[in-house]
Amino acid sequence: MKLFLKVDQNFLANKILAEKLDSYNLKYTLVNATEVLFLENVPSETYAEICKTLNEYGFEVIENQKNILVQRIKDLITEVVQKEEALNVKFSSYLSDNLGHSYGYLSNLFSEVTYTSIENFIILQKIEVAKQLIANEKMSLTEIAFRLNYSSVAHLSSQFKNTTGITPSAFQRIIKKRRELINNSIV
Protein backbone atom coordinates (compact mmCIF):
# COMPACT_ATOMS: atom_id res chain seq x y z
CA MET A 1 0.00 0.00 0.00
CA LYS A 2 1.25 3.47 -0.85
CA LEU A 3 0.36 6.80 0.71
CA PHE A 4 0.52 9.82 -1.60
CA LEU A 5 1.10 13.18 0.05
CA LYS A 6 1.02 16.82 -0.88
CA VAL A 7 3.44 18.76 1.32
CA ASP A 8 2.99 22.40 2.31
CA GLN A 9 6.66 23.21 2.76
CA ASN A 10 6.08 26.60 4.39
CA PHE A 11 3.69 25.11 6.96
CA LEU A 12 6.12 22.28 7.65
CA ALA A 13 9.08 24.65 8.03
CA ASN A 14 7.12 26.96 10.35
CA LYS A 15 5.96 24.00 12.46
CA ILE A 16 9.49 22.62 12.86
CA LEU A 17 10.91 26.07 13.61
CA ALA A 18 8.25 26.77 16.24
CA GLU A 19 8.73 23.40 17.94
CA LYS A 20 12.50 23.72 18.07
CA LEU A 21 12.61 27.39 19.07
CA ASP A 22 9.94 26.95 21.77
CA SER A 23 12.23 24.46 23.51
CA TYR A 24 14.69 27.33 24.20
CA ASN A 25 12.07 29.47 26.00
CA LEU A 26 13.00 32.55 23.97
CA LYS A 27 10.65 35.25 22.75
CA TYR A 28 10.59 35.31 18.96
CA THR A 29 8.38 35.91 15.96
CA LEU A 30 8.39 33.81 12.80
CA VAL A 31 8.42 36.40 10.01
CA ASN A 32 8.12 33.59 7.44
CA ALA A 33 9.55 30.12 6.88
CA THR A 34 13.01 31.58 6.33
CA GLU A 35 13.22 34.40 8.86
CA VAL A 36 13.05 34.45 12.66
CA LEU A 37 13.05 37.68 14.66
CA PHE A 38 14.26 37.22 18.23
CA LEU A 39 12.58 39.67 20.60
CA GLU A 40 15.32 39.40 23.19
CA ASN A 41 19.08 38.97 23.28
CA VAL A 42 20.19 35.41 22.63
CA PRO A 43 23.36 34.26 24.41
CA SER A 44 26.05 33.14 21.98
CA GLU A 45 26.09 29.58 23.36
CA THR A 46 22.33 29.31 22.92
CA TYR A 47 22.58 30.80 19.42
CA ALA A 48 25.19 28.22 18.44
CA GLU A 49 23.01 25.44 19.84
CA ILE A 50 19.97 26.74 17.94
CA CYS A 51 22.01 26.82 14.71
CA LYS A 52 23.16 23.23 15.28
CA THR A 53 19.64 22.00 16.07
CA LEU A 54 18.09 23.70 13.05
CA ASN A 55 20.85 22.38 10.81
CA GLU A 56 19.83 18.83 11.76
CA TYR A 57 16.42 19.58 10.20
CA GLY A 58 17.83 21.02 6.98
CA PHE A 59 17.82 24.69 7.97
CA GLU A 60 20.99 26.61 7.22
CA VAL A 61 21.50 29.78 9.25
CA ILE A 62 22.68 32.52 6.90
CA GLU A 63 24.98 35.10 8.44
CA ASN A 64 26.49 36.82 5.40
CA GLN A 65 24.52 39.99 4.48
CA LYS A 66 24.81 39.30 0.75
CA ASN A 67 23.43 35.79 1.19
CA ILE A 68 20.61 37.14 3.35
CA LEU A 69 19.60 39.60 0.63
CA VAL A 70 19.77 36.87 -2.03
CA GLN A 71 17.55 34.65 0.12
CA ARG A 72 15.06 37.51 0.47
CA ILE A 73 15.05 37.90 -3.34
CA LYS A 74 14.32 34.17 -3.71
CA ASP A 75 11.57 34.32 -1.07
CA LEU A 76 9.83 37.27 -2.73
CA ILE A 77 9.96 35.64 -6.17
CA THR A 78 8.70 32.32 -4.84
CA GLU A 79 5.90 34.05 -2.93
CA VAL A 80 4.68 35.87 -6.05
CA VAL A 81 4.96 32.86 -8.38
CA GLN A 82 3.12 30.55 -5.97
CA LYS A 83 0.15 32.87 -5.38
CA GLU A 84 -3.05 31.20 -6.49
CA GLU A 85 -4.35 34.19 -8.41
CA ALA A 86 -2.56 35.56 -11.44
CA LEU A 87 -0.44 38.58 -10.57
CA ASN A 88 0.81 40.84 -13.29
CA VAL A 89 4.02 41.83 -11.53
CA LYS A 90 7.09 43.42 -13.02
CA PHE A 91 9.68 41.65 -10.90
CA SER A 92 12.34 44.32 -11.29
CA SER A 93 10.09 46.97 -9.73
CA TYR A 94 8.63 44.58 -7.18
CA LEU A 95 12.04 43.50 -5.90
CA SER A 96 13.42 47.06 -5.85
CA ASP A 97 10.39 48.39 -3.99
CA ASN A 98 10.39 45.58 -1.41
CA LEU A 99 14.13 45.42 -0.79
CA GLY A 100 15.12 49.08 -1.06
CA HIS A 101 17.88 48.57 -3.64
CA SER A 102 18.11 49.24 -7.36
CA TYR A 103 17.30 46.29 -9.57
CA GLY A 104 20.76 46.53 -11.14
CA TYR A 105 22.39 46.04 -7.74
CA LEU A 106 20.04 43.16 -6.83
CA SER A 107 20.58 41.49 -10.19
CA ASN A 108 24.37 41.72 -9.98
CA LEU A 109 24.40 40.49 -6.38
CA PHE A 110 22.10 37.57 -7.19
CA SER A 111 24.30 36.51 -10.12
CA GLU A 112 27.46 36.87 -8.02
CA VAL A 113 26.14 34.67 -5.21
CA THR A 114 24.09 32.08 -7.15
CA TYR A 115 25.91 31.97 -10.51
CA THR A 116 22.56 32.39 -12.28
CA SER A 117 20.32 35.32 -13.11
CA ILE A 118 17.16 36.48 -11.36
CA GLU A 119 15.33 35.92 -14.64
CA ASN A 120 16.47 32.30 -14.78
CA PHE A 121 15.42 31.77 -11.16
CA ILE A 122 11.97 33.19 -11.97
CA ILE A 123 11.64 30.81 -14.92
CA LEU A 124 12.65 27.83 -12.76
CA GLN A 125 10.08 28.78 -10.12
CA LYS A 126 7.34 29.22 -12.73
CA ILE A 127 8.13 25.84 -14.29
CA GLU A 128 8.02 24.13 -10.87
CA VAL A 129 4.57 25.63 -10.25
CA ALA A 130 3.48 24.67 -13.78
CA LYS A 131 4.56 21.06 -13.11
CA GLN A 132 2.52 21.00 -9.89
CA LEU A 133 -0.53 22.45 -11.63
CA ILE A 134 -0.22 20.00 -14.53
CA ALA A 135 0.13 17.08 -12.11
CA ASN A 136 -2.99 18.19 -10.21
CA GLU A 137 -4.96 18.11 -13.51
CA LYS A 138 -7.24 20.92 -12.37
CA MET A 139 -6.20 23.52 -14.92
CA SER A 140 -5.71 23.56 -18.68
CA LEU A 141 -2.41 24.72 -20.15
CA THR A 142 -4.12 27.96 -21.17
CA GLU A 143 -5.21 28.57 -17.57
CA ILE A 144 -1.74 27.71 -16.28
CA ALA A 145 -0.12 30.08 -18.78
CA PHE A 146 -2.48 32.87 -17.67
CA ARG A 147 -1.95 32.09 -13.98
CA LEU A 148 1.84 32.29 -14.39
CA ASN A 149 1.75 35.46 -16.52
CA TYR A 150 2.91 33.93 -19.77
CA SER A 151 1.92 35.80 -22.91
CA SER A 152 0.72 32.54 -24.49
CA VAL A 153 0.65 28.78 -24.11
CA ALA A 154 3.41 28.66 -26.72
CA HIS A 155 5.65 30.81 -24.49
CA LEU A 156 4.96 28.55 -21.49
CA SER A 157 5.58 25.44 -23.61
CA SER A 158 8.85 26.82 -24.94
CA GLN A 159 10.22 27.66 -21.48
CA PHE A 160 8.89 24.37 -20.07
CA LYS A 161 10.69 22.37 -22.78
CA ASN A 162 13.90 24.40 -22.45
CA THR A 163 13.90 23.79 -18.69
CA THR A 164 12.71 20.18 -18.44
CA GLY A 165 13.57 18.76 -21.84
CA ILE A 166 9.95 17.77 -22.55
CA THR A 167 6.79 19.63 -23.49
CA PRO A 168 3.98 20.24 -21.00
CA SER A 169 1.78 17.86 -23.00
CA ALA A 170 4.42 15.11 -22.77
CA PHE A 171 4.70 15.80 -19.03
CA GLN A 172 0.89 15.44 -18.74
CA ARG A 173 1.03 12.09 -20.56
CA ILE A 174 3.82 10.83 -18.28
CA ILE A 175 1.88 11.81 -15.15
CA LYS A 176 -1.28 10.19 -16.51
CA LYS A 177 0.60 6.98 -17.40
CA ARG A 178 2.20 6.81 -13.93
CA ARG A 179 -1.20 7.21 -12.28
CA GLU A 180 -2.63 4.42 -14.43
CA LEU A 181 0.28 2.12 -13.53
CA ILE A 182 -0.07 2.94 -9.83
CA ASN A 183 -3.85 2.46 -9.89
CA ASN A 184 -3.50 -0.84 -11.74
CA SER A 185 -0.90 -2.11 -9.26
CA ILE A 186 -3.15 -1.23 -6.30
CA VAL A 187 -6.13 -3.16 -7.65
Residue 1, pLDDT above cutoff 70:
no
**Contact by Cβ (8 Å): 141, 167:** no
Residue 77, pLDDT above cutoff 70:
yes
- Percent of the chain past pLDDT 70, that is, above it, reads 97
pTM: 0.73
Question: Of the given ranges (92-96, 100-104, 173-177), which has the lowest mean pLDDT?
Answer: 173-177
pLDDT tens string 125-143: 999 999 999 988 778 899 9
Nearest CA among 13, 115, 25, 133 for reference residue 70? 115
Confidence of residue 187 (pLDDT cuts 50, 70, 90): low
Residue 101 φ then ψ, to 5°: -135, 160
pLDDT tens string 47-69: 889 999 989 988 888 878 898 89
